[in-house]
Amino acid sequence: MANQLKPPPPDIVIGRLPLYLRALDLLAQEHKEVTSSYELGERLGISSAQIRKDLSHFGDFGKQGTGYQIDFLIGQLQHILKLNRHWPVVVIGAGHVGLALVNYKGFQDNGFDIVGIFDRDPEKIGQEINGVKVMPDSELVTTIQEYKVKLAMIATPAAAAQQSADIIIEAGVRAILSYAPITLVVPPEVHVQYIDPVSKLQHMTYYLEE
């Protein structure tokens, strides 16, 4: 008999779930109780078929003729993405980018708790931003272990990013959001996402007329 293991949902599908969640949160704020793949699709600029197929990887969340119960679907997506808990996060690098991250309200609002920001420059140690004290790199490993931190944001110069990544992975970090414009080399069990506004601007200049 053939092996009937379902393939895991594609990563590209996982990446869209946060968008669905955002749109659903907005609908809930508008006191709507039910929505459809058509309404969601229109709000997100995505086809309704794609939304239905994406969700079908995880279960039958809708009702034919009716659509999706918004509260219920939010709960399901939060469960799938493991968002029904708080996640401690560390920020590496206390330059302009690192400080902006600590100041950004969106993390706290969505259950990502910044438990520390770290820098190798002694000048920066001790200052407090948004209730978080800048600590020396020497405390990085103990902090990660103490809070069982799995998530980190790297906001160091490019030259320091790989070294930082090596240290925090060794200490237990398993997912990195990097603002440094270099490709990090990490073991396969570690996930990395990049944010590079310059690359996104350069992508769009292609389409601009001179």
Partner DNA sequence: AACTGTGAAGTTTTTCACAGCC
Partner DNA sequence: GGCTGTGAAAAACTTCACAGTT
Chain positions contacting DNA, by CB under 7 A: 10-13, 36-38, 46-50, 52-53, 55-56, 60-68
CB 170 within 8 A of CB 153: no
The one of DNA, a copy of itself, none whose footprint includes residue 69, by CB under 5 to 8 A per kind, is none
| Interface with a copy of itself (CB under 8 A) | 14-15, 17-19, 21-23, 26, 43-45, 80-83, 85, 87, 89, 96-97, 99-101, 103-104, 106-107, 110, 112, 150-151, 153, 174-175, 177, 181-183, 185, 191, 193, 195-210
Residue 39 or 139: the one with the smaller Cβ distance to DNA is 39
The one of a copy of itself, DNA, none whose footprint includes residue 80, by CB under 5 to 8 A per kind, is a copy of itself
The one of a copy of itself, DNA, none whose footprint includes residue 32, by CB under 5 to 8 A per kind, is none
The H-assigned helical ranges of the chain are: 11-29, 37-44, 48-56, 70-80, 96-103, 105-109, 140-146, 158-171, 197-205
Q: Chain centroid to CA 167: how far?
A: 21
Three-class SS of residue 89? strand
Angle, in degrees to the nearest 10, between helices 37-44 and 11-29: 100
C-alpha R_g of the chain: 20
Residue 66 or 202: the one with the smaller Cβ distance to DNA is 66
